[in-house]
Amino acid sequence: MNSGQRRVSQAALSRLGIITPTGINHAESQIPFYTRSMRNEFTAVIERDGDWFVAWSLEIPGANGQGHSLTECRESLAAAIQLILEDRREDGLRVVPAEALREMVTVQ
């Protein structure tokens, strides 16, 4: 640990509403920390293919959506993006050391 770093107790993290390495702060209604305030915006590329609208996201490889209307297509793409991000986050958290600090970073 560097001289500028300090350890924070799990109790202190819990009081702040931060997920501790042992899991979710159950006082916060079982909602994971990252979903309480997260808002993301992504570029949707939408094309018409016969009776269908198909979409993909430039920023999230593998995220695709489709629908008979633009609304259905956008909702389908949003659901695919959400699923991919949740899966990637879960995969990434599996390798985070218990003593590591996790913080939210906001990009504007």
Indicate whether 44 and 91 sit together in one domain: yes
Instruction: State the first-to-last Cα distance of the chain, in angstroms, to the nearest integer.
Output: 30
pLDDT tens sequence across 75-107: 999 999 999 999 999 999 899 998 998 888 887
The reply to whether 104 falls in a domain is no
User: Domain range holding 57?
Assistant: 40-96
CA 2 – CA 4 distance, rounded (Å): 5
Q: Return the pLDDT at 50.
A: 97
Between 12 and 93, the more confident residue is: 93
Q: Domains in the chain: how many in total?
A: 2
User: Is the whole-model pTM more than 0.75?
Assistant: no
Q: What percent of the residues of the chain are helix, what percent strand, and what percent coil, each to the nearest 5? A: 35, 15, 50
Asked whether 67 and 46 are in contact (CB, 8 A), the reply is: no
Residue 62 pLDDT > 50? yes
Specify which residues 53 forms β-bridges with. Answer: 48, 67
Tokens of 14: 């819990």
